[in-house]
């Protein structure tokens, strides 16, 4: 049986346990039905960020309920799973909420033990949150974020440190991996230099680019055919034609206004259509609107692939990037192929096949370090493998960050050289992109009848240095 847990200083509502905020990770997270925040605390949003910033999924995914005397639609209330307009909700009310959040808690409990320890990757945390809630998240306009839009329930999951992928960027990463799908809501322009949504669109003189221009309506006097800006017709008593000196009384009868004319107060040029430029409020760069970034703003739901990745782990994210470029086999299929090759090599003593194992250590940290460049670097990493491997070579992922390769018509020395070239290519690629490149481990053996593939993988993965 799970219970509501009150985070705060004052008296908790009846039937609630109280936890100190700094002991979040020291208590039994499984026993929590939802966290209650807000009563007699002013920093409600900070409390929500603290919970959503925890590493353990059993903490950061838990439902959060804000207690408030009167709801105001504040960012904290929008970020919570529910708002209760009471200082001390009674026990039956809290029990109904326990029931309401049961599906979310069941989903969290269904994660395997080792999947509950710690999630560092922001994209994966977002994905898990979306899947655990099973509801579409919709964008909300805000001036509090430089991106101009936010998803209030997701925002506390993303740390706001500079150089990290933003919330919108993280969501589009998930979309590129087909882990979430978007429903069109609106479009918005963003600064192509710094990404800020705050742009000032201005009409300027097409000749001297001055912003100091005035619009004036053109007047066409039917009687004499004279066409000039309205200011030329204006007199104290109304409108008088400067050419024929007649008074203009009725629009549609005496005259009409065929268009608008602009006058530049800087170069005194007159023109019909001004140019448009946009200036970023943040970095102050001015460019034509077409050169800014136009993005679609979506509401998001997880896909079937996303649902499965949320349960099985973030390494699937990397495999998906790599699988797009490399034709990955399944490990079972590769093992079957190895058996066939063993038999073939035995029969035709002249032919050689080698097997190799490649392991990237700290793949997930690499993704976090790379931030917004992760997808491109992973694609280039796959490119290194494609450039070294031949069409007849077979590659299969094993678990999170290990690859098993079968290289037909290749002796051990040639296989070793192929691994060296992969190692060099990847080191060069990552050295330019990362301060602390991950460790790459590899080994190659000639495929003989005695070779134990699982053994080779184990020794490669556990070897050090």
Q: How far is CA 367 from CA 96, 126, 357, 408, 434, in A?
A: 41, 15, 21, 32, 10
The residue (of 91 and 194) whose beta carbon lies closer to Zn ion is 194
- In angstroms, what is the minimal distance from the CB of 223 to Zn ion? 5
Q: Does 224 bind Zn ion (CB under 5 A)?
A: yes
The residue (of 266 and 307) whose beta carbon lies closer to Zn ion is 266
Choose, by CB under 5 A, the member of 2, 243, 362, 372 that binds Zn ion: 243
* Range 144-203, binding Zn ion (CB under 5 A): 191, 193-194, 196
- What does the block give as tokens for 294? 């136009």
- In angstroms, what is the minimal distance from the CB of 375 to Zn ion? 23
- DSSP letter at 306 equals H
The residue (of 14 and 224) whose beta carbon lies closer to Zn ion is 224
- In angstroms, what is the minimal distance from the CB of 302 to Zn ion? 32
Q: Cα 416 to the chain's mean position, in Å?
A: 39
The residue (of 276 and 283) whose beta carbon lies closer to Zn ion is 283
Choose, by CB under 5 A, the member of 3, 100, 226, 295 that binds Zn ion: 226
Query: What DSSP string runs through 261-279?
Result: EEEETTT--EESS-EEEEE
Q: Residue 118 in contact with residue 55, Cβ under 8 Å?
A: yes
* Range 264-293, binding Zn ion (CB under 5 A): 264, 266-267, 269, 280, 282-283
- In angstroms, what is the minimal distance from the CB of 287 to Zn ion? 9
Choose, by CB under 5 A, the member of 58, 205, 328, 395 that binds Zn ion: 205
Q: Does 221 bind Zn ion (CB under 5 A)?
A: yes
- In angstroms, what is the minimal distance from the CB of 373 to Zn ion? 19
Q: Does 241 bind Zn ion (CB under 5 A)?
A: yes
Question: Who's near 204: CB < 8 A, 6+ residues apart?
Answer: 210, 211, 213, 274, 275, 276, 277
Q: Does 215 bind Zn ion (CB under 5 A)?
A: no
- In angstroms, what is the minimal distance from the CB of 237 to Zn ion? 16
Question: Who's near 23: CB < 8 A, 6+ residues apart?
Answer: none
Find the largest Cα–Cα distance for the chain: 111
Query: What DSSP string runs through 318-372?
Result: HHHHHHHHS-PPPHHHHHHHHHHHHHHHHHSTT--EEEEEEEETTHHHHHHHHGG
- In angstroms, what is the minimal distance from the CB of 191 to Zn ion? 3
Interface residue list for Zn ion (CB under 5 A): 191, 193-194, 196, 205, 207-208, 210, 221, 224, 226, 241, 243-244, 264, 266-267, 269, 280, 282-283
């Amino acid at each position: 049986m799970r219970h509501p847990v009150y985070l705060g200083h004052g008296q908790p509502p009846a039937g609630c346990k109280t936890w100190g905020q700094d002991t979040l990770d020291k208590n039994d997270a499984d026993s929590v039905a939802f966290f209650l925040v807000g009563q007699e605390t002013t920093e409600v949003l900070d409390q929500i960020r603290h919970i959503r910033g925890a590493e353990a999924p059993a903490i950061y995914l838990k439902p959060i309920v804000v207690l408030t005397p009167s709801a105001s639609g504040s960012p904290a209330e929008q970020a919570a799973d529910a708002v209760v307009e009471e200082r001390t909700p009674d026990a039956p009310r809290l029990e109904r909420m326990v029931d309401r959040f049961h599906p979310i808690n069941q989903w969290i409990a269904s994660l395997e033990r080792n999947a509950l320890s710690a999630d560092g990757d922001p994209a994966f945390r977002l994905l898990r949150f979306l899947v655990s809630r099973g509801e579409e998240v919709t964008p909300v306009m805000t001036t509090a974020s430089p991106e101009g839009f936010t998803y209030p329930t997701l925002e506390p999951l993303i740390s706001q440190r500079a150089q990290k992928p933003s919330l919108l960027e993280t969501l589009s990463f998930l979309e590129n991996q087909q882990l979430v799908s978007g429903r069109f809501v609106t479009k918005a322009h963003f600064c192509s230099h710094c990404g800020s949504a705050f742009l000032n669109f201005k009409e300027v003189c097409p000749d001297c680019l001055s912003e100091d221009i005035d619009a004036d309506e053109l007047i066409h006097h039917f009687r004499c055919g004279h066409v000039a800006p309205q200011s030329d017709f204006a007199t104290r008593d109304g409108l008088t034609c400067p050419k024929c000196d007649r008074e203009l009384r009725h629009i549609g009868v005496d005259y009409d206004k065929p268009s608008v004319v602009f006058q530049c107060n800087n170069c005194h040029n007159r023109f019909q259509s001004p140019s448009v430029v946009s200036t970023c409020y943040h970095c102050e760069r001015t460019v034509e609107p077409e050169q800014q970034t136009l993005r679609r703003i979506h509401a998001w739901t997880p896909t079937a692939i996303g649902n499965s990745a949320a349960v099985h782990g973030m390494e699937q994210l990397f495999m998906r990037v790599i699988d797009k470029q490399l034709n990955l086999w399944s490990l079972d299929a590769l093992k079957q192929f190895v058996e066939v090759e063993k038999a073939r090599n035995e029969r035709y003593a002249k032919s050689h096949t080698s097997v190799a194992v490649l392991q990237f250590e700290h793949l997930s940290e690499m993704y976090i370090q790379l931030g917004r460049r992760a997808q491109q670097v992973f694609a280039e990493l796959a490119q290194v493998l494609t450039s070294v491997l031949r069409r007849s070579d077979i590659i299969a992922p094993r678990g999170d960050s290990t690859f098993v390769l079968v290289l037909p018509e290749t002796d051990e020395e040639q296989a070793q050289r192929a691994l060296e070239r992969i190692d060099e290519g990847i080191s060069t690629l990552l050295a330019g992109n990362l301060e602390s490149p991950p460790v790459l481990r590899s080994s190659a053996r000639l495929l003989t009848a005695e070779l134990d593939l699982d053994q080779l993988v184990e020794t490669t993965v556990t070897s050090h240095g």
